[in-house]
Amino acid sequence: MSVDTAQPTKDDARTTRRKPRRRSTKDRLVIATMIAVPTALVVWLVWLPALASVGLSFTRWNGFRLENIEWVGTQNYRDITTIYPPFWPAIQHNLIWLVFLFVFPTVLGMLLAVVLDREMRGSRFYQTAFYLPVVLSLALVGFIWQLFYSTDQGLINEVFGTRIDWYGDPDINLWAVLVATAWRHTGYIMLIYLAGLKGVDGSLREAAAVDGANEVKTFFNIIFPVMRPINLIVLVIVVIESLRAFDLVWIVNKGRNGLELISALVSQNVIGEATRFGFGSALAVIMMVISSVFITVYLRIVFTQDQEEK
């Protein structure tokens, strides 16, 4: 190969962070390509569309001819917040989704991880049981829970002798869908915490036990603070998951009638009856703005961890 290898001295091999030696043209081309091809793909399919969404959100467009794009300023945003009926319910549902995920499956997942982290008999089996739903798609989860929620053939109605349309009744279907989501979400959170707890130094816990601290104290004073970076990551994951939530409501009723979510509203404006690209883009931008706050938080955590390791 064509690298000039004659001159490198022994001592610069020891210091890893030094000025890179001059590489051959071929090597530099290879490095450039290694970065350029994946970057081009992600810029083309993620970053340019993101920018385009922002641009389109200030226009009115039916999605056909480019010259029909009509600049309307902030009209779409004003319409969304004032005269678009499903918007505020959707925001509310997304918020309920977020709070619910935190209060039930996230806390439960954390507790499960704390207990299963011990040398408990059958721990492996329990772990498998809890994260088995994690491998299923949320659309399929919605399908499986139909076995419980069906009005005339569902298990719940059969056991309680009721005839409730769990997926259809706009007052309760959000909760029905949330329970199904929780079934999958708990195992996911448990897994993340289990991995994090492996990093908790056993001697810390031992010291606490010697000091006579009980389990609850040990957890709050020792384990929880050590898990701080994981808590932050979980926070971001939960926020982003609840913002992206889509599959389940789409499979149930395409995000209508009690199951409005912002993600579903965007999709309805593109593949629904009316193609309102400008309006849909404005909804998309609202999603993007909310998520970018948390993405920034996430990147900061990840990058500070990175710095600490160096």
Partner 1 sequence: MSTNTAPAPVEPETPPTNKHAGGTGVLNRKRGTIATVVMAVLAFVWLFPLLWAVYNSFRDYSYTQANGYLSFGGWTLGNYEEAWTRGQFSRTLLNSLYITVPAVLLTLFLSSLVAFVLARFSYRFNLTLLGVFLAANLLPPQALLIPVFRMFRDIPLPSFLSDTGTMLNSFTALVLVNTAFQMGFCAFVLSNYMKTIPHDIYESAELDGASVWRQYWQLTMPLVRPALAALATLQTTWIYNEFFWATVLISRGDKFPVTSALNNLRGQFFADTNLVAAGSVIVALPVIIVFFVLQKQFVSGLTLGSTKG
**Pattern 281-300, partner 1, x by CB under 8 A:** x--xx-xx--xx-xx--xx-
**Pattern 216-235, partner 1, x by CB under 8 A:** x--x---------xx--x--
Chain residues 21-40 in contact with partner 1, contact rule CB under 8 A: 23-24, 26-27, 30-31, 34-35, 37-39
Q: Residue 12: which residues within 8 A CB-CB, separation 6 or more?
A: 18, 21
Chain residues 173-212 in contact with partner 1, contact rule CB under 8 A: 179, 182-183, 186-188, 191-192, 194-196, 199, 202-203, 205-206, 209-210, 212
Which of 240, 239, 258 has the alpha carbon at shortest distance from 86?
258
Which of 180, 205, 19 has the alpha carbon at shortest distance from 97?
180
Q: How far apart are the first and last CA of the chain?
A: 32
Burial class (CB in 10 A: 0-12, 13-18, 19+), 170: middle
Angle between helices 173-198 and 228-244 (to 10 degrees): 150
Interacting residue with partner 1 among 91, 174, 215, 274 (CB under 8 A): 215
Chain residues 259-278 in contact with partner 1, contact rule CB under 8 A: 262-263, 266-267, 269-271, 277
CB of 126 to partner 1, least distance (A): 5
CA 243/CA 234 separation, integer angstroms: 14
Interacting residue with partner 1 among 111, 222, 226, 232 (CB under 8 A): 111
CB of 31 to partner 1, least distance (A): 6
Single out the segment in contact with partner 1 by CB under 8 A; choices: 76-84, 85-93, 117-125: 117-125
CB of 98 to partner 1, least distance (A): 13
CB 143 within 8 A of CB 199: no
The tokens describing 23, both together, are 């590489």
Chain residues 42-81 in contact with partner 1, contact rule CB under 8 A: 42-50, 52-53, 56, 63
CA 3/CA 17 separation, integer angstroms: 20
Which of 283, 304, 302 has the alpha carbon at shortest distance from 294?
302
Burial class (CB in 10 A: 0-12, 13-18, 19+), 271: exposed
Count of residues that bind partner 1 according to CB under 8 A: 137
CB of 19 to partner 1, least distance (A): 10
**Secondary structure (3-state) at 60:** strand
Angle between helices 173-198 and 123-131 (to 10 degrees): 140
Residue 307 CA to its chain's centroid (Å): 24
CB of 162 to partner 1, least distance (A): 14
Interacting residue with partner 1 among 70, 88, 95, 120 (CB under 8 A): 120
Nearer to partner 1 by Cβ, of 173 and 186: the residue is 186
Nearer to partner 1 by Cβ, of 43 and 170: the residue is 43
Determine if 7 is a binding residue for partner 1 (CB under 8 A).
no
Strand partners, 71: 59
Chain residues 128-157 in contact with partner 1, contact rule CB under 8 A: 128-133, 135-140, 143-148, 150, 153-156
